[in-house]
């Protein structure tokens, strides 16, 4: 009996030591996530502490999520620093109100501000949420330029045969890009029964991609092209379409067309659906500096090594109003939010964003965890006011130069 007890105790000690070894082999972000591990799989309903830990570690625990990786360049693109802008805003107070993890401003091709919060630093990745939509849109442009997609007027079912017979059978690639398909979709982040809350938990049919399986059952609500309705599900379909057209995973195409040629410094990761497809309406993880490099890349015309990777007229269409969203001075392009003054933005819930103003050669990158939730109206208004304050600072600097 004593011998059995000794063996049992020895086994327990070995297991504890192995667990401790595994714990300390994890990086800080992964340990933080495990300390606050949510029991609810739906991040829309996590508490603030859980989000703070998870947003910087969505790709650290393979048991929680799977992902594909876009490898970085061996020769990172420099981000030269410039003179700080005289912004008439208390930056510390602004970041506190935003619960900001990262705030970067590029202007004139130079980094004019770089600040971090929430215990985060520039060496880590932060999740993008719907900022990923604008990356996905750019890959559509690349696939069009490369000839994988013949025309934006082609039907969705031409590239995703499993959509034949669904409400998307009559929807064009262009209508998918502008979210004017007319197919019913509920993007209410506060409703557990909304489509945006339910589709990640959808049990896929055998042999059918999980994202496609959910989307092809949705009914039509309006004729194609007649109504704008924000739908993350449609961007997920765009990702499937690009994957089908290019015959390669979305993250691999991102690596080939942008991540390595552009000179990204760190790897990016893209979370996957149950059936292994990148969730292209969401869930791209990258460092704030690499988000800034992407913003500068778009500002510079999507040119790599002297060659534009999208059709010549792509950005003129993608970043200008293609659909009326019912807000004065605003619109929606090809997965970009547009302003009538020529500015445009990628936006994600909880305060993620890339704001681009071509007139002022300006890029503003935001990573955050808004205290008021996914669409915190107070934080959103404060961010728009901050954009305007930065624009005013650029204008003032131009007068004095």
Averaged pLDDT for residues 227-236: 97
Q: What is the pLDDT of residue 272?
A: 95
Beta bridge pairs of residue 323: 332
Average pLDDT over residues 273-283: 93
Quote the pLDDT of residue 4.
42
Q: Read off the tokens for 336.
A: 């970009």
Q: Residue 236's closest CA among 195, 280, 187?
A: 280
pLDDT number for residue 13: 40
Rg of the chain over Cα atoms, rounded to whole angstroms, equals 22
* 75-89, 194-208, 264-278: the lowest-pLDDT one: 194-208
The DSSP annotation for 202-250 comes to --PPTTS-HHHHHHTTPPB-S-TTS-----HHHHHHHHHHHHHHHTS-H
**DSSP H/E element including 51:** helix 48-54
Distance CA 92, CA 393 (A): 17
pLDDT of residue 23: 47
How far is the C-alpha of 262 from the C-alpha of 209, rounded, in Å? 31
- Bridge partners of 353? 347, 366
For 101-131, the pLDDT digits (tens) are 999 999 999 999 999 999 999 899 999 999 9
* pTM for this entry: 0.91
d(CA 281, CA 314): 20
The pLDDT of residue 7: 42
Residue 150: its pLDDT value, please?
98
Measured in degrees and rounded to the nearest 5, phi and psi for residue 196 equal -65, -25
Check if the beta carbon of residue 343 is closer than 8 Å to that of residue 361: no
Specify the pLDDT at position 282.
94
Provide mean pLDDT across the span 50-76.
Answer: 90
For residue 170, the SS3 value is helix
Residue among 338, 335, 314, 313 nearest 324 (CA): 338
Domain edges within the chain: 70-400
Tell me, what DSSP letter sits at residue 99? T
Of 270, 247, 317, the residue nearest 66 (C-alpha): 270
**DSSP H or E segment with residue 373:** none
Q: Do residues 204 and 184 touch, judged by C-beta distance below 8 A?
A: no
Looking at residue 357, its pLDDT comes to 98
70-400: CATH topology: Beta-lactamase (3.40.710)
Tell me the mean pLDDT in the region 56-82: 91
Q: Which two tokens stand for residue 37?
A: 């591990």
| Confidence check: pLDDT of 229 > 50 | yes
User: What mean pLDDT comes out for the span 359-372?
Assistant: 98
């Amino acid at each position: 009996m004593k011998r059995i007890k000794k063996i049992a105790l020895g086994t327990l000690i070995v297991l504890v030591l192995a667990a401790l070894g595994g714990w300390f082999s994890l990086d800080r972000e992964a340990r933080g996530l495990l300390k606050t591990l949510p029991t609810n799989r739906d991040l829309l309903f996590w508490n603030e502490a859980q989000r703070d830990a998870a947003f910087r570690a969505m790709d650290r625990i393979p048991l929680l999520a799977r992902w594909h990786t876009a490898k970085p360049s061996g020769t990172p693109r420099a981000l030269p620093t410039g003179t700080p802008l005289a912004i008439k805003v208390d930056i510390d107070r602004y970041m506190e109100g935003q619960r900001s993890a990262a705030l970067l401003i590029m202007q004139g091709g130079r980094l004019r501000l770089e600040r971090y919060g929430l215990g985060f630093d520039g060496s880590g990745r932060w999740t993008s949420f719907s900022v990923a939509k604008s990356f996905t849109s750019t890959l559509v442009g690349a696939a069009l330029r490369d000839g994988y997609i013949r025309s934006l007027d082609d039907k969705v079912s031409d590239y995703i045969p499993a959509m034949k017979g669904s409400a998307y059978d009559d929807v064009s690639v262009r209508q998918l890009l502008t979210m004017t398909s007319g197919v019913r979709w509920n993007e209410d982040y506060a409703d557990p029964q909304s489509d945006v809350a339910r589709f990640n938990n959808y049990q896929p049919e055998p042999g059918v991609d999980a994202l496609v399986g959910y989307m092809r059952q949705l009914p039509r609500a309006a004729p194609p092209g007649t109504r704008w309705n924000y739908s993350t599900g449609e961007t997920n379909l765009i990702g499937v379409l690009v994957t089908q057209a290019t015959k390669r995973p979305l993250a691999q195409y991102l690596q080939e067309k942008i991540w390595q040629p552009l000179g990204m410094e760190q790897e990016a990761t893209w979370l996957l659906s149950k059936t292994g497809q990148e969730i292209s309406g969401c869930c791209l993880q990258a460092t704030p500096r690499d988000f800034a490099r992407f913003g500068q890349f778009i500002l510079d015309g999507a040119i790599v090594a002297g060659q534009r990777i999208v059709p010549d007229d792509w950005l003129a269409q993608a970043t200008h109003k293609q659909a009326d969203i019912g807000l004065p001075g605003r619109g929606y392009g090809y997965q970009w939010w547009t302003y009538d003054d020529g500015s445009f933005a990628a936006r994600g819930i909880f305060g993620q964003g890339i704001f681009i103003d071509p007139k002022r050669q300006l890029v503003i990158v935001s990573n955050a965890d808004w205290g008021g939730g996914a669409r915190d109206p107070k934080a959103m208004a404060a961010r728009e006011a901050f954009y305007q304050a930065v624009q005013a600072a650029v204008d003032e600097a131009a007068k004095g130069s």
